[in-house]
Amino acid sequence: MNPDKILIVEDEAIVAMDLRLHLQALGYEAVGVASTGEQALRLAEAHQPDLALMDVSLGEGMDGIEAARRVQAMGVPVVFLTAYADEGTLKRAKESGPYGFLVKPFDERALHSTIEMALLRHRMERELKASESRFRALIENTQDLVAILDSKGAIRYASPSALRVLGYRAGERTGYSVFDLVHPGERPNLLEQFQQLGNHPGMLISVEARGLHQNGGWRLLEITAQNALDVPGVQGIVIHARDITERRQAEQDRRAMDSKIQQAQKLESLGVLAGGIAHDFNNLLMGILGHAGLALMEMADDNPLKRRMLQIEVAATRAAELTNQLLAYSGKGRFLVEAISLSKVVEEMGGLLETVISKKAALEYRFSSDLPPIEGDPTQIRQVIMNLITNASDALGGRSGRIRVTTGLMPSGPATPTLAGTAPEGTAVFLEVSDTGAGMDEATLQRIFDPFFTTKFTGRGLGLAAALGIMRGHHGAIQVESRPGEGTTFRLLFPAAVEVQAFEATSRTGPQPYFGSGTILVVDDEENVRSVATTSLERCGFTVLTACHGREGLERFRTDPEGIRALILDLTMPEMGGEEVLAALRAGGGPGASVPVLISSGYSTADLAPELQRHGKVFFLQKPYGPKELIRRVRECLGE
């Protein structure tokens, strides 16, 4: 270890020499001897000694007391040497803050003890200053608020971060009670905990409370408080407060998003299930409707069983309507796609809407001019609008009120909040139905798209669940705003139409007697569908070939491509689906490139329209269908 360096400031040469010898004997290093104050400053700056032994009287010029003040400003502690111990000299010397006094003459033991105590004190002060500097840097640069309170809760100190956390400048709230900054609803509980804290030294508590911001708003704080009333140098309640307002909001937003994701996944799962049930159920209804229709065609009008057969047909037709609702819910129910003006659709429904709403409800329209069209099925869009209007009327509960229908354009994208569905990218065409009715609470809002959920006396059908399915099928979304007692607003968001391709609609003209000729190939994996189609077509004079899957159907066509006039293809089949068969026919050239094709499915194929239409003109027949509808579509397909 290097010896401590000591500077000697003494104008008496003999005394200075004697001091140097004593210091060397004690193991110190004398780095220089100065006889004047000015010389002492130069040597102190050059050698940076650990201590200066300073004579109070240095003759002419700067005296030892002034020199000591300047040397200590350099960080060098000073021990005074003086032959005078009068009150005046001591008073002046004390004002410079020396680390000790040695009265001449002194012995080596006094010199040693005085120097060691001065060096020890100086090291402790440096460590204390370093510690204070670190603590100050920590407190003044922390993002959290640190405060010290007295035993009654008055603020004694607040860190500069009070400005960032609560908007108050340092010292601005000093002397005020901290409870003036606590939200009134949380103040009693916090006061009770503070009283318990004050009675238990060292006790630590953690709470959350809202703190009053300087701008008048409230910030949610995570607070830790510790009783340090008996800790020297503190003697107070130490508070550490962190602003968690944004974090809590983010957590709430995340929970809301998780809830929406779970709801979407639940609805998606139910949609897949509903679509599968509808598809399979439509195939089963084919057997009932088809065979009932064939039986009716063979019965005389006076047959006593004809009435019962008609009832079977009616029941099967109603069952088919239910499957259409299931298809709508699953988002697979777009049957006829065309360019639609939302404003025009509502205008055309005006008379009907007036009849279904309450007599006390006033219906208002606000249509945007130059609204771009959307792509969709007009029938299903009308179903959604009718559903929303009737719900709005029911929400009025027999009271007078207003129902407003608005159309327009709005910015839209993935970040657009929706209760269900995904908002279109860019700009959305919207239709809004708002009412002044009872409104809904948050719990009800989270369930309105559940199948068969209702707030009415009885619930029949899929209601808003089907509306959601229709919106999903149109690549749209639904926004809902509602509060109890403040009414409800439903906003449907649609992508604007770009280019619409559609299957030809089924003709609704009455059946005409018809007899055809030639061979028609029926490709379907359901035996009862093949049976109904075969019998229906053969009654009209056609020869029918059948295949139970796409690959077999393609092979049958290739054995006699010139002899087959048309194909009836099921869209969904094992091994090879209808779309794959169609693609293979069109790509093979020859008769297969132009043979008429009638696509049939328990699903709607509107979403596949662009994919199928690129293979040429394709007709579509929705399952379940009866013999008359099948013949009608075959005639259209053949151009007859």
The residue among 261 and 479 whose pLDDT is bigger is 479
Predicted confidence at residue 234, as pLDDT, reads 82
Burial of 164 (0-12, 13-18, 19+ CB in 10 A): middle
Q: What is the 3-state secondary structure (H, E, C) of 468-530?
A: HHHHHHCCCEEEEEECCCCCEEEEEEEEECCCCCCCECCCCCCCCCCCCCCEEEEECCCHHHH
Percent of residues, the chain, with pLDDT higher than 90: 14
Report which of 624, 632, 603 is spatially closest to residue 315, judged by C-alpha positions.
624
Burial of 151 (0-12, 13-18, 19+ CB in 10 A): middle
What's the pLDDT band for 263 if we cut at 50, 70, 90?
Answer: low
What's the pLDDT band for 460 if we cut at 50, 70, 90?
Answer: very low
What is the spatial distance between Cα 413 and Cα 424, in angstroms, rounded to a whole number? 6
What is the spatial distance between Cα 421 and Cα 430, in angstroms, rounded to a whole number? 14
Pick the CATH number of 519-638 from 3.40.50.880, 3.40.50.2300, 3.40.605.10, 3.30.300.130: 3.40.50.2300
Predicted confidence at residue 429, as pLDDT, reads 92
First to last CA, the chain: 115
* Res 306 pLDDT > 90: no
Predicted confidence at residue 275, as pLDDT, reads 60
* Res 619 pLDDT > 90: no
Say which residue the tokens 């939200």 belong to: 183
What's the pLDDT band for 610 if we cut at 50, 70, 90?
Answer: low
The amino acid at residue 50 is D
Predicted confidence at residue 46, as pLDDT, reads 92
Strand partners, 206: 224
Cβ proximity of 11 and 36 under 8 Å: yes
Predicted confidence at residue 503, as pLDDT, reads 45
Percent of residues, the chain, with pLDDT higher than 70: 85
Instruction: Determine the 3-state secondary structure of 241 from DSSP.
Output: strand
Kindly report the pTM of this predicted structure.
0.41
Give me 212's structure tokens.
């009053």
Predicted confidence at residue 500, as pLDDT, reads 46
Give the strands of the sheet with 597-601, arranged side by side: 543-547, 519-523, 564-570, 597-601, 619-622
Tell me the pLDDT tens digit for each residue of 27-62.
Answer: 999 999 998 989 999 999 999 999 999 988 887 788
Domain assignments of the chain as residue spans, ordered by start: 5-137, 142-243, 338-495, 519-638
Main-chain dihedrals φ then ψ at residue 313, nearest 5 degrees:
-65, -40
Pick the CATH number of 5-137 from 1.10.8.80, 3.40.50.2300, 3.40.50.300, 3.90.1150.10: 3.40.50.2300
* Res 199 pLDDT > 80: yes
What's the pLDDT band for 464 if we cut at 50, 70, 90?
Answer: confident
Tell me the pLDDT tens digit for each residue of 223-247.
Answer: 888 988 888 878 888 888 888 888 8
Instruction: Determine the 3-state secondary structure of 425 from DSSP.
Output: coil
Q: Do domains 5-137 and 519-638 have the same CATH topology?
A: yes
The residue among 640 and 166 whose pLDDT is bigger is 166
Exposure b/e, 559-571, CB count within 10 A at least 16 = b: eeeeebbbbbbbb
What's the pLDDT band for 615 if we cut at 50, 70, 90?
Answer: confident
CATH 3.30.450.20 fits 142-243, yes or no: yes
Burial of 273 (0-12, 13-18, 19+ CB in 10 A): middle
Predicted confidence at residue 459, as pLDDT, reads 42
What's the pLDDT band for 107 if we cut at 50, 70, 90?
Answer: confident
Cβ proximity of 111 and 102 under 8 Å: yes
Q: Which fold has domain 338-495?
A: Heat Shock Protein 90 (3.30.565)
Mean pLDDT of the chain: 82
